[in-house]
Amino acid sequence: MILKVVEKASNILVERSTEIKLVLSSLLARGHVLLEGVPGVAKTYTAKTIALLLGLTFKRIQMTPDLLPSDITGGFIFDQRTGEFKLRKGPIFTNILLVDEINRASPRTQSALLEAMQEKQVTIEGVTMPLEEPFMVIATQNPIEFEGVFPLPEAQLDRFLAKIPVDYPSTIGFMEILKRADEIEEAILNLNPVMNREDVLNAIREASMVRVDDSIYEYIVRIVEESRRHPAVKLGGSPRAGIAMVRLAKAWAYISNRGYVIPDDVKAVAIPVLAHRIILRPEYEVEEVKPETIVKEILSRVPIPRP
């Protein structure tokens, strides 16, 4: 059924099949994603379309500098009729939470997401409440804005399983979007789920059981270790990066209708998993070397395991 979601979403969202597969793979791997792209490249549409097709609850938060942590988590309010405090749940109590322009919120508000992303729970005024499974944060940010924003610290970036670049469409794709703009909007408004919450939870369990050979584990270890040895890198991938790569590669294989991971699965997820976890040395940052370029170079150097 997950393949139906990929197919239907790809038919609606022009030239977004890779992004759709990566977001779905991250969900199956129980992770969160950061979509990075300029305004108007269908980041919100991508998140909403996937949530609707999966039959999951979906909420959106527009981050602003004056947003408070309680605006995300909710809080206890006094009910004058009963004389008791009642919990007003915030938008974080959902299956898929779209956090739009995450870097516009203050660090204090950004940190309100950390417990939910890592522990799948929320603490409000000393009361800890679990979040319903599945729970996924899809955050977006604009890579070209530098004023009025609070860049995500490395520790918070590391909470995202994958960072997915969302680029402009090709010329042909752009023309198709112009022709189908009204049709696309109407299709999203009238989407019917092809899965439900139980189907998604089953898919998550099945994806976790995808087989990984020892040679693939060794391949991932070498890639992550090379990211730490590269001369341009100040800080490379941690063991958490390796775990993320295994989980995302398993989910990618599952979406590709395979019960085992192959090297191409690892290559498909290496940049989304590693690029945002690599910190470059200052001299290479000045030269505008991109972490994505470093990962591509590592992939070209590390020997591919033979079957």
- Does one domain contain both 116 and 53? yes
With a CB cutoff of 8 Å and minimum separation 6, the contacts of 34 are 102, 139, 140, 141, 152, 157, 160, 162, 163, 164, 276
One-character DSSP codes across 172-233: HHHHHHHHHHHHHHHHHHT---SS-HHHHHHHHHHHHT-B--HHHHHHHHHHHHHHHH-TTE
Joined tokens for residue 86: 């009642």
| 96-100/58-62 β-pairing | parallel
Structural domain total, the chain? 2
- 198 lies in a domain? no
pLDDT tens by residue, 62-118: 998 889 888 998 888 877 787 777 888 899 999 999 999 998 888 888 888 877 888
Rg (CA), the chain: 20
- Does one domain contain both 183 and 219? no
CA distance 271 to 172: 26
Average pLDDT score, the chain: 91
- 306 lies in a domain? no
Confidence tier at 30 by pLDDT (50, 70, 90): very high
CA distance 210 to 266: 13
Mean pLDDT of 12-27: 95
Q: Using a pLDDT cut of 90, give the percent of the chain over it.
A: 64
Among positive and negative, which fits the CA dihedral 188, 17, 166, 105? positive
Residue span of the structural domain in which 272 resides: 209-301
Q: Where residue 34 sits, what CATH number does that domain have? A: 3.40.50.300
- The answer to whether the CB of 59 falls within 8 A of the CB of 94 is yes
Q: For position 81, what pLDDT does the model report?
A: 80
CA distance 98 to 258: 29
- 199 lies in a domain? no
- Ramachandran sector of residue 182 (left: φ over 0; alpha: ψ -120 to 50; beta: rest): alpha
pLDDT tens by residue, 118-156: 888 888 887 888 999 999 999 998 877 666 678 887 778
- Answer with the residue of higher pLDDT: 1 or 254: 254
- 200 lies in a domain? no
pLDDT tens by residue, 157-212: 888 999 999 999 999 999 999 999 999 999 998 899 999 999 999 999 999 999 99
